[in-house]
Structure formats: C-alpha cells, structure tokens
A and B are shown apart, each in its own frame.
Chain A
C-alpha cells in the first residue's frame, strides 16, 4: 500500500491528484498519515507512530486509521 506517485501534498493539507485532476483538503493528522504512506510505512508501523506521537488510545487509533485508509482507497489516492 503506497500513495500514488501522481499525488502531491502541501504542508497545509492541500492534496492534488494530477492524474485525475482531483483536489482534496485534509487535516494535520491526515497530512501526517499521507506523508507516512509516501514513505512506504505499513498499517502496523503507522499505528505505532500515531500512538507514539499523539494522545490517543489504541482502539480509536486503529478505527480511525482503518476509516482513513478506506477513504483514500475510495478517492483513488493509493496504489491497488
């Protein structure tokens, strides 16, 4: 699972998919996850990173990460 090469991410959360012309906005947590995906981090690694970086419990972290990745899939932002 990796972010598509055509996806550009700005520091303030503006996301542009050049291959489709779609643009998105995301919040700081979302921007962070997109950058980790670009680096090739796995689900498990990202979960550990989130738990280390943010004030969050494990269950919420896992649910939210699952939901966010689903949304990225639905928006065609990650490689199949």
Chain B
C-alpha cells in the first residue's frame, strides 16, 4: 500500500535564530496539544456543534466555586457568594452557581429579570449599578430585593418610590474609597474619604423610609494586589461600627464586591498570569482577617458577601476554532486567520489569551499573528504568539474565556455561535443556539417605500 508508506506531513518552516539577552525563563520549547475537554474530543465537539464553539465545563465551575467558598468559609463564620450576572449570564451557568448556593448580583433590569427567571428569590437578588429606573425600584422593592444605592439621585428617587408604595426597601450604599491602588474607582457609589458615604448613610437613617441593611464596595477589577482588600475591609468595618455607635443600628452584611483576578495574562505583563495571580486564599486572608480583627463582637459579625465573577468562571470557558488560512505579512511574519475574532473574544482586547493546538503538532514554532475572520483591522486575537505549523482546517483551543465573552460578544459581521456545557458526567448540552439571519432580521422593519428594488 503506497499511501501507508508515506511520511506524515508537516508544513516546512524556517526560523532565524537570534541570540537575545539571556533571561532565567528561556524560550518556549514545545506545544502541548489540548485535544479533549472533560473527556470529549475537540474534533467531535466541533463536528457536532460547529466551529467556532464556546465550551463550558460544569465540573470546573463547581470545583472553582467550592475552592473559593472554602477559602472564605474556613476563615469567617458567615459567608455568602452572589453570582455576578454580567460576567456570564447564560442561564445554565447561573443555575450551576445557584445550585452551589450563590445568590444573584445584577446591574440592570434585564439581568434582574434573568435572575428571577432562574428561580432566585427576590430577597436573594442584590440590585447594583447606576442604572435603575423608578419602575426598576418599584419591582425590586415589591420583591424585597436589597437595593445598592449608587448616587444621591437614586437615593432620593427611591425615597419617592417607597413612599408611594408604602413599603420600606432594604438598601445598602455602594462605597468607593482609596485603597492605595490606582486608578481609584470613584465613579460608582459614595466616597468614604470625603464624607459623602457617611452623609448618605445619615440621610437614609434619618429619613426613616428605608432599612439600611448593608454596605457595599467594589474596589476595582483584576486586582493583583490583595492588600487593597484589607484596606477596603477596614474602611467598610469602620463605617459599620460607626453606624452601630451613632445610631445603634446593626449592619447585617458587608458586601466586598469582586475584582479578583483570573489566571489570564494581561497585555504588557512581564510574567504569566498563572505565575502571579493571587489565590482565593490570598484574597480571603486579607478580607477575613481584617474583618475579624475590626472590633465587631463575635456574635455581631456581619454576613460577608462576595460578588467575584471573573475568577470563578474564566477557567471553565474554552473557545474552539478552526484555522481558515495562513499567510505571510510583508516582514515575513506568519499570520494565521481563525474563524473567531474579537467579535466573540472581547477579552482579547486586554488579555494575551493562551492558545493551544487541538491536534498533535511538532515542536517547531513560528512567530505569528493570530487574526480573526472580520474584515476589520482591529480583529487581532494575539499580536505576537509562537505557533506550531498549522494547516487550514486545523483546530485551536483558546483557554480561560468564561468571563465577559458570552456577555460582551458582538453581533458584528458574523453571527454568534453555539455554546455547549459539558456536565459532570461528560455529557454535552447545547445551552445557547447559534444565531441565524432570521433571529436578527425579525427585529427589523422595512418602510414600505423601501420594499421594492429595481437593480
């Protein structure tokens, strides 16, 4: 059989060797193909569900959640997580978190309705964000949802709504503060240092139309400095203890928000995210130790709420894609064009996503640019990446895409693909169908004078 005697082919590559400055890390010496996700072959998944394809591992979600919960619960007596809907609001994903015990944390009426639809009781939906209409307030008050007030206009508006309804809403204020990390997130909530937060607290208590049940903060995003959380926890505890001293009121919960980093590598970072990202234990140690030492009587320690999203879901998400073409740029660099781009992988604007071939490959690497399929110059998934020789039709796996991509993706030029969840028994479930042209055009209408064409 002549065919079987032939050698396995690999695209010829040649790469100039440059002696750079010595460093202790050395160069990448090989590629580890990522052929399976939770026991399912990438090629089988794409054959069945198409390419590109988002894949979510339920097992990884649950393991990550339990790791995070235990890190806090082993250090603090009363811990509650609230799933950050904006990070990934696929219903199946939200329900995994809710099954694990997470409440819901939402920042819009749309997300609020999703949480209700997922069966979360109203009093376990934390309503955050600067955008809440009078009707949003009305619904949240009637459902007994904790409303986290962002600004004075919201505070006064809520007083009006609650007066009309004759009900006392459960509220918290969002507090922003200097934690020593720049940029300081002062656009949301009331400032601690200039006394605005205290003024808002005083107004709520003295107006006596609402029940101040909590204090909320969210000091930043992708926070690599865990000590900032100790500063934040200390200032939150200070406010709660002052409320107790001055008004005799016990604050029921301190919501420390989220912002924990995932293991993705930020653009421009010198070291890989897997090497420098703090663990859940690092964050928990700073927050819990500070709160326990803050001066609360042990039986009065408030409930500690955490709204971290990214660190809980990033690892569970994969994006599978297929090589559309290879080409050479004018300077000789290789360009590989994938069937997914920034339209699906919004986070490629700020991460250097890890990418792996999904089939066996050699250890020869070429410097390459990884482009998406859009006919737009911005569509660059990786500006500089070493890739093994890949042929048209080969598949790639992008890692840690669970956060913000399935919510911030764009329906731009191309349609959005299927999303599959692999359950703990290794069974794939389609949790969001790919879009069709009809899905989008049904929202449009054509004025009658534009109906006929004569080309």
Residues of A within 8 A of B (CB): 15, 22-30, 32-33, 50, 52-56, 60, 64-65, 67-68, 70-72, 74-75, 77
Minimum C-beta distance from B225 to chain A (A): 41
CB neighbours of B12 from chain A (8 A): 26-27, 29-30, 32-33, 64-65, 68
In-complex Cβ contact of A74 among B7, B9, B332, B362 (8 A): B332
Minimum C-beta distance from A16 to chain B (A): 9
Minimum C-beta distance from B5 to chain A (A): 9
Q: Give the secondary structure class of B's interface.
A: loop
Indicate whether B375 reaches chain A with its CB closer than 8 angstroms.
Answer: no
Interface pair A54/B8, CB less than 8 Å apart? yes
A55 vs B8: C-alpha distance in the bound complex, in angstroms?
A: 6
- The number of residues on chain B lying at the interface, defined by a beta carbon within 8 Å of a beta carbon of chain A, is 21
Residue among B3, B7, B9 with most chain A CB within 10 A: B9
Contact A24 B14, CB 8 Å, known A67-B326, A70-B328, A74-B332: yes
Instruction: Give 8 A-B pairs besides A65-B12, A68-B12 with Cβ atoms closer than 8 angstroms.
Output: A15-B14, A24-B17, A26-B13, A26-B15, A32-B12, A55-B3, A60-B11, A68-B13
Which partner residue on chain B sits nearest A26 by CB separation?
B14
CB neighbours of A55 from chain B (8 A): 3, 6-9
Indicate whether B259 reaches chain A with its CB closer than 8 angstroms.
Answer: no
Which partner residue on chain B sits nearest A50 by CB separation?
B9
Interface pair B14/A23, CB less than 8 Å apart? no
Indicate whether B202 reaches chain A with its CB closer than 8 angstroms.
Answer: no
A60 vs B326: C-alpha distance in the bound complex, in angstroms?
A: 11
Interface pair A28/B17, CB less than 8 Å apart? no
CB neighbours of B351 from chain A (8 A): none
CB neighbours of B391 from chain A (8 A): 60
CB neighbours of B44 from chain A (8 A): none
Interface pair A71/B14, CB less than 8 Å apart? yes
